[in-house]
């Protein structure tokens, strides 16, 4: 039974990038700790709002990845899409879109989640980190890169690749910031749009984020991301994928042939990955559809053969 939420924070900033995409800044009543990192980049927090038009529906809470860096305790930032076809009766994003700067909001005080570089491979892993996202799945990667800069100002960001897919160039949130980091600090930023014909003057990558891993495209992606041909392999790179099922599932399927091994237990079991083989693809999923349909035995068998071939099993 949903309960009425007691607000404990203020919506301190709202930037609308389009009608359905926004950056929201939240300041809690109880200040964030100023000593030491209070979350690990890649984690999420839970936001909540009460339904004011239909009070009987009470409050709705949803997890949202943090886009700001923990070194900035003044606020916490989120990159959120308005979901036009929600699955619930009291959709959070429909409430949020009615709120303006200065309105009150609920935030669970503790950040959560294991989708962090530290948890996946540890802070000292020297492989390049390839961050793959569509839409607002970009948020945790913005946090990771911002925090890396804060912790070591002036460091070269060449270790990081951000592949970000959107329908139109106007939907590429954080584009200016990421382009500047690419120009000035070595970040490899590969934005891609799936409706390039409607994006005047677009000369970048085309197609969905996961399309860049198709057999006929992967060479081009490697070039854009600063890899030598054939270098996108688990001994040189770790993949982090964030967003909806389509992006995650297709990225995994297309990279099995390069020997990338998913972290998730169910997938590893279905693909018969030996226990000692380390993972090299980690993901955070925003929806709840199965990442890969494991009931499709023919498909799973083909994927297993592809991975085993790549791993020489």
Provide the binding-site residues for ligand FAD, judged by CB under 6 A: 44, 60, 62-65, 78-81, 83, 86-88, 91-93, 113, 135-136, 139, 284, 286-287
> CB-wise, 86 or 109, nearer to ligand FAD?
86
CB of 50 to ligand FAD, least distance (A): 13
Nearest to 237 by CA among 218, 215, 214, 264: 218
Q: Which residues contact 78 (CB under 8 A, 6 or more apart)?
A: 23, 24, 25, 26, 45, 47, 64, 65, 66, 67, 139
Q: Among residues 4 and 152, whose Cβ is nearest to ligand FAD?
A: 4
Nearest approach, Cβ of residue 288 and ligand FAD (Å):
6
- Which strands, in side-by-side order, build the sheet including 21-28? 59-65, 44-50, 104-107, 9-18, 21-28, 76-81
Q: 96 or 303, CB closer to ligand FAD?
A: 96
Contact 127, 236 (CB under 8 A): yes
Whole-number Å distance between alpha carbons of 151 and 39 = 14
Shortest distance, position 84 Cβ to ligand FAD, whole Å: 9
Question: Least distance from C-beta 62 to ligand FAD, angstroms?
Answer: 4
Taking the complex as a whole, the smallest distance from the CB of residue 21 to ligand FAD amounts, in Å, to 8
Nearest to ligand FAD of 92, 106 (CB atom): 92
CB nearer to ligand FAD: give 39 or 92. 92
Tell which residue, 65, 78, 56, 71, has the closest CA to residue 9: 78
């Amino acid at each position: 039974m949903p309960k009425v939420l007691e607000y404990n924070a203020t919506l301190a900033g709202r930037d609308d990038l389009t009608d359905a995409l926004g950056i929201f800044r939240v300041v809690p009543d109880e200040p964030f700790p100023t000593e030491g990192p209070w979350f690990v980049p890649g984690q999420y927090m839970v936001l909540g709002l009460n339904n004011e038009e239909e009070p009987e529906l009470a409050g709705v809470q949803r997890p949202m990845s943090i886009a700001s860096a923990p070194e900035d305790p003044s606020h916490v930032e989120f990159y959120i899409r308005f979901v036009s076809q929600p699955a619930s009766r009291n959709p959070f994003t429909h409430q949020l879109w009615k709120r303006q700067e200065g309105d009150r909001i609920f935030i669970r005080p503790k950040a959560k989640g294991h989708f962090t570089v530290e948890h996946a491979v540890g802070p000292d892993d020297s492989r390049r980190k390839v961050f793959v996202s569509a839409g607002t799945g970009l948020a945790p990667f913005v946090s990771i890169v911002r925090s890396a800069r804060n912790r070591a100002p002036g460091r070269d960001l060449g270790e990081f690749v951000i592949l970000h897919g959107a329908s139109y160039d106007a939907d590429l949130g954080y584009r200016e910031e990421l382009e500047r980091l690419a120009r000035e600090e070595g970040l490899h930023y590969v934005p891609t749009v799936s409706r390039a014909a409607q994006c005047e003057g677009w000369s970048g990558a085309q197609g969905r984020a996961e399309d860049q891993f198709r057999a006929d495209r992967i060479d081009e992606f490697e070039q854009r991301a600063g890899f030598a041909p054939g270098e996108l392999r688990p001994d040189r790179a770790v993949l982090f994928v964030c967003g909806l099922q389509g992006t995650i599932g297709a990225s995994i399927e297309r990279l099995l042939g390069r020997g990338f091994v998913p972290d998730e237990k169910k997938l590893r079991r279905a693909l018969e990955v030996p226990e000692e083989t380390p993972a090299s693809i980690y993901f955070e999923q925003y929806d709840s559809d199965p990442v890969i349909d494991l009931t499709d035995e023919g498909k799973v068998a083909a994927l297993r053969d592809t991975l085993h071939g790549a791993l020489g099993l």
